[in-house]
Amino acid sequence: MHPVDLNRVERLLILKVSSMGDIVHASPVAAALKRAFPHLYIGWIAEDRHGGVIDGSPRLDRLHIIPHRALRERPFGREARRVMMQVAREVRAERYQVALDLQGLLKSAIWGVLGRVPIRYGAHRMREFTALLLRRIPIREQPNRHVVQQYLDAARWLGASGEFPELYRSPDEAHAPEPPVEFPLYVPDEAHAQVAYKLAQLGADDKPIISVNPSAGREWKRWDLAKFAALSDRIEAEWSAPVVFIGGPGDKPLEERLRALKTRPLRSLIGRTRLKEAMALVQRSAVHLCGDTGTAHIAAAFRVPVVSLYGPTSPDRTGPYGQRARALYKRALCTECPADRCVRKVCLQWITVDEVMDAARPLWQESQERLRTDSR
């Protein structure tokens, strides 16, 4: 199968509807295609709970938002049908000629069909009968290769070939074998201003901060909250560094538990930032600490040093791009689970507070040295 000539195509739609980290990982595809084909009008379709991470991207011309709750709560109800038809009409109106599915699920592939996009490619593991709806791009999945580069293989196959410009540099060059990549995320000035105001209320507006996200999408991806509390106490006591916790509205119970577990006052913006504000907070951090969650990838996209904590999932494939050396991972030490899958899901908790401190300490010291150099 030969790819369509994108020099002859005017409008292309990227199908990557979730999750936040996956959308960040896929965003370089839009950048690569836009650089190779500047004339190309590029749209993207994503669920409202995650799509905001790509909203306003300078490499996108249109973002289509799916109200996921209406489809999830009663997928065959009248309201779900109304929402689907409304979004489908919106997509059809753009008259896309090519759809590129980077998810490989029915919930993504269906939009190319409903949007009446005539040429539809699948560039990820194609599951849930999506092989009936998409043309499979002939690229081989490699388990230990970072998913960012696997997504970019689709862009290369479509003609965005050659080396990508050096718009991305890992904060840790010595451990960054991945090629330079552009993550075309955008944070408006208003979000930065709101974050500055909220940090001022916490007494941390004019200081470098360490941001911490104790949450993750699944319980077994969450490091022990007592360890997060102890970690923040030690950082504040030993480094005099303001630690600010972040998270979504659903993470408010974590805030109350942290308050009870910490021995020092809690600085928290959990549930008090919109998505763009959370992105702004991560972007202005000297260091970001988190588990296997979306803010890890936002930090990496903004070249913010991030220490991430991984359990069963492999950071080789889905860790913060360019920062594998700082992804703490003990799955390989397990002798009780099968080699090809994690069953017990306890290896994340083997990571100690001391190990996270050791990984974060040089990053904080480097940020302080840069601050002193800049002030001279």
Confidence of residue 206 (pLDDT cuts 50, 70, 90): confident
Give residue-wise pLDDT tens across range 130-152: 999 999 998 887 878 899 999 99
Contacts (Cβ under 8 Å, ≥6 apart) of 69: 48
Identify the bridge partners of residue 119 per DSSP, sorted by sequence position. 98
Contacts (Cβ under 8 Å, ≥6 apart) of 372: none
Where is pLDDT greater, at 306 or 1? 306
Q: Which domains does the chain have, with CATH numbers?
A: 6-175 (3.40.50.2000), 189-375 (3.40.50.2000)
The model scores a pTM over 0.85: yes
Q: How far is CA 123 from CA 17, 104, 279, 357, in A?
A: 14, 7, 28, 39
Helix H or strand E encompassing 122:
strand 119-122
Contacts (Cβ under 8 Å, ≥6 apart) of 195: 273, 277, 280, 281, 284
- Gap between the Cα atoms of 119 and 135, Å rounded: 8
Task: Give the residue-averaged pLDDT of 305-321.
Answer: 94
- Gap between the Cα atoms of 172 and 308, Å rounded: 14
SS (H, E, C) 26-92: HHHHHHHHHHHCCCCEEEEEEEHHHHCCCCCCCCCCEEEEECHHHHHHCCCCHHHHHHHHHHHHHHH
